[in-house]
Structure 1
Amino acid sequence: MSLRRRVVRERVLQALYAYELSHEPIQFIIENIVSDLEKQPESFGFAKQLILKVIECNNELDDLIRQRIEHWEFNRLAIIDRIILRMSICELLYFDDIPPKVTMNEAIEIARDFSTDKSDKFVNGVLDSILDDLKKDGRIKKSGRGLVNTGAHKQPKQR
């Protein structure tokens, strides 16, 4: 049985936080923070995929965040909030089997558990705005379980 995705996402948050602060090679961080998930290949695969995709798309993800945070300096955002937003936007864009509603709920709960008192509301507001724009731009492509609550019909994957 695989771990609950929440636990895996929390581990991804820890790994990305360590990466952000230490600038150690990502493989070193994966080996030291998420390697115990290897006993559950599905969980480990999801964690590793999400970590690597967030790092690969970091500039794109940060640009999307910057566009939505009027009156805030990006570098002054809580590091945990930035990482949660990056992870969530990455899931929305690149993990076709995860419904947007699940991504949003997980981000809000993780922000509530790991960041400041107001982070859950902040993360919710920013993600909601980004999700609306991504939908309008046709950038949300979901399939299988990811179609739940999107109102989308299954389409071939295009990127």
Structure 2
Amino acid sequence: MHLLNDTALEQAIKVLQEASRIEFYGNGGSGIIAMDAYHKFMRTGISCIAHTDSHFQIMGAGLLSKNSVVIGISHSGSNKGLLEALEIVRARGAKIIVITSYQKSALSQLADITLYTSTRETEFRTEASSSRLAQLSLLDTLYVGLSLQRQEETLKNLQSIRETISMKRI
């Protein structure tokens, strides 16, 4: 079964390209993925942030506009706090991209675009760690796709970040 739909991936990149703001929502292990995405996407020049606490997610969601995009990340697709936040996002008219492993999950039902990752548990690697690697790879793909569309601005921002980070080095 081929889970990663090329059309959905292209649509996600287009929606991100048109966004005035991108917010990443994830709780627990998915929160770490959200922070990694924020670390990358801030280089594109689009205002973005990651919220890893459900209270901050609903507060942030309440401030979104129709030009905003939220990427909700949940392996199971059934995190109650994330669902509550995405319901507010939906009411605000912002776009919702969901990254999950389960096609029939509650999160998938709220999404404008759903990107699926497929993982399985092995003796040495739990399903959660496999899911984390798949989600990181998928977000890297979105970042590269968006950066290619905003190449000039992204390259300028990367240079600026390199210069400012160099001040932190000995």
* TM-score higher than 0.5: no
Give the TM-score normalised by structure 2. Answer: 0.27
- Using CA pairs under 8 Å that are at least 6 residues apart, name the structure with larger relative contact order, 1 or 2: 2
Q: Whose helix fraction is larger, Structure 1's or Structure 2's?
A: 1
Give the TM-score normalised by structure 1. Answer: 0.28
Q: Whose strand fraction is larger, Structure 1's or Structure 2's?
A: 2
